[in-house]
Chain A
Amino acid sequence: MSYAIAEPQPGPIADSTGDRRLLTVEDLEIVFNTTDGVVRAVNQVSFTIDRGDVFAVVGESGSGKSVTALSILGLLPKPPAEVVGGRIMWQGENLLEATPERMRHVRGGEIAMIFQDPLTALNPVHSVGRQIAEMVRIHRGMKAKAAMAHAVAMLDLVGIPQADRRARMYPHEFSGGMRQRAMIAMAIACRPSLLIADEPTTALDVTVQAQVLDVLIGIKDEIDSAIMLITHDLGVVAGMADNVMVMYAGRGVEEGSVDEVFDDSSHPYTIGLMDSVPTVEGEDAPLRPIGGQPPSMINLPSGCSFHPRCRFVHPDGPCATEVPALLQIGDTSHRSACHYSSEVAEIRQEERS
């Protein structure tokens, strides 16, 4: 790495209220109007992100995690998609009610996003440097030369060797890992306070994954921002995140710090996820996949969406009839949406000992 991980920047940047809260999502509800019916993609999702946090959102494909992320920046295609409820509070302002000009200013300038496949996410006909420079030209009004120099500096920051030569090259001339780093460079060009990373490493080799994640962490510290990490890879979460929210069928089913959610899992789905990942420690217990199929998002199961596949289900309890609320466990920020969360947590502890 050619960037210096120096001491963290003193204090947050231009934060009038003085506290570290950046993003508060409250009861977000998003639907898609399709020819087959109404898809309830995001259902009463709430979470907060503070400056310096690495906040992970975990779930299967179709759980609503990408949709949530895109909605923060208002990037959902509005004909089929529709935000029908909730608020997205960004530093005191509801982004869902922001004007288009304000949103344009937020995108890239205050919140930036990196996408899964950098080969398709970067324009093939413009040089990488030019695409990075575009950021500061738009948001900071820099002139071409200065912008390009800044782009080179950014490429350098993410650890790309010979940055000035690379800046003039095209996306397809980069390797996968370098492309992703270039995307990161582009995203941080204007020092955004929040970086949303949508499956940043899914398209990469395992070894390269680790490097890119390192870059992300380093950058976060360097510019004192926060990261919202969307992924389905539990290993990545374990290695990088501070807090995590597990999503299932458009709902947040468990959230808390990584330690709490991983070691002290209190939701059957989370437990199912944990059990289906092989560990290196060499436990002899067989892998236990989660039975059944992911639910149809048009016709969700009644009550708790997970109950048809839940191995802790109480058939004569509220599982099939009442949607469980996301309730606090203990006295920390650990919450779980299960009618029997404490019981489930206990059974889990017994099984593991």
Chain B
Amino acid sequence: MLSFIVRRVFQLLFVVWGAVTLVFFLYFLLPGDAAEILAGGDNRAVSETVVTNTRNKLGLDRPVIVQYGKYLKSIVTFDFGKSFKDGREVSEIIKERAPASLRLAVWAIMLEASVGISLGILSAKRKNSVADTVTTITAAVASAIPVFVLGYAFQQVTGVYANNHDWPQWLRLPVQRIGPDEWYLWIIPSAEQFRYLVQPMIVLASVSTIIVARLTRTTMLEVGKAEYVRTARAKGLKEGVITRRHTLRNAMIPVITFIGIDFGTLITAAILTETVFNWPGLGSKLVASAEGRDLPVLLALTVVVVLVYGIVNLAVDISYAWFDPRVRLAGGER
């Protein structure tokens, strides 16, 4: 088990290195002159001297390789340097943005897991009933809706339309930004905060909930046909016990795995949702730093993204061994 973990950690480090290197060199392939953009902001004509100064100041005049070395070193020491855009410490920026993404992700995962799994189990139980077909159709349609369309639709309905048509106050949900940023125990939102949280949370979780529901349904049905379920029945167990202890226990393995991996994806790829709702998280910062050619921030975010994704995957793999005893002895005993 230990060698397994060590091996995976090394793999992860390699992946981080690979990703950072890739992004670094891509940065220099971006159109336009980075220094010019950084110096002048949006499309204003900037004098040569300002551009050159900027370039020197930010170290962009050094050979690429040298810059690469410098940044690699800084990443290893976790000193990401300062943002090109406003000179703030990059680590500050990350510390500022990360909680928003994390909180949104955690809530989205909880929604996705609870609703998704319940729907899936229900669907599997009443296979081919009216409820099942309706759920399947709704699920199919829902997964075809782009996240940003859903986001805007929500905004229009609860924000704009509600205001114009005088809906009760509690139903008029705020549609932009994070709101008061009030949280208890770091993760539980105040009532007002929840009003800001609920829409991005639902929108972010929407696609994954569908996938979880369908995956659960599929695995429940598959496992239901397994031989050992028939054995359980032959032992005289009650149907409920069979479902819980035998079917569910086995069916949940791939589902939990998926949810685990999805957590990493949610944190980092909530770009669309954060953009639509102006939620100040890592995703929207990623977009901004790419457009603004803010190399240190971009690189730092890449490292964060890749690391988080990798660690979550590793955790999922390790816990997989706990769930499924067949995997535990991989590489070991007979």
The residues of A with any CB-CB pair to B shorter than 8 Å are 73, 75, 103-109, 112-113, 115, 117, 120-126, 134-135, 138-139, 170, 172-173, 186
Contact = CB atoms under 8 A, between A and B. Distances in A.
A124 B247 CA distance: 11
Contacts of B334: 173
Interface of B: 226-228, 230-238, 241, 245-246, 249-250, 253, 323-326, 329, 333-334
B230 A121 contact: yes
A108 B236 contact: yes
Nearest to B230: A75
A138 B228 contact: no
B227 A120 contact: yes
A105 B241 CA distance: 14
A contact patch SS: helix
Contacts of B250: 123-125
B232 A123 contact: yes
17 contacts: A75-B230, A75-B234, A104-B237, A108-B236, A113-B234, A115-B231, A117-B227, A120-B228, A123-B232, A123-B246, A124-B324, A124-B325, A126-B249, A138-B235, A138-B236, A170-B325, A170-B326
A186 B249 contact: no
Contacts of B333: 173
A139 to B, nearest CB: 6
Contacts of A108: 234-237
Contacts of A172: 325-326
Contacts of B233: 75, 107
Contacts of B246: 123
B34 to A, nearest CB: 54
Given A73-B234, A120-B227, 11 more contacts: A75-B233, A75-B234, A108-B236, A121-B230, A121-B231, A123-B231, A124-B325, A125-B324, A134-B245, A135-B235, A173-B333
Given A104-B236, A107-B236, A121 B228 contact: yes
Contacts of B245: 126, 134
Nearest to A100: B239
Interface centre among B226, B228, B325, B333 (most CB of A within 10 A): B228
A160 B235 CA distance: 21
A109 B323 CA distance: 30
Nearest to B235: A108
B249 A125 contact: yes
A123 B228 contact: yes
B230 to A, nearest CB: 6
A106 B237 CA distance: 11
Contacts of B326: 124, 170, 172
Contacts of A139: 236
Nearest to A127: B325
Contacts of A109: 236
A103 B239 CA distance: 12
B269 to A, nearest CB: 32
B228 A134 contact: no
A123 B246 CA distance: 7
A134 B235 contact: yes
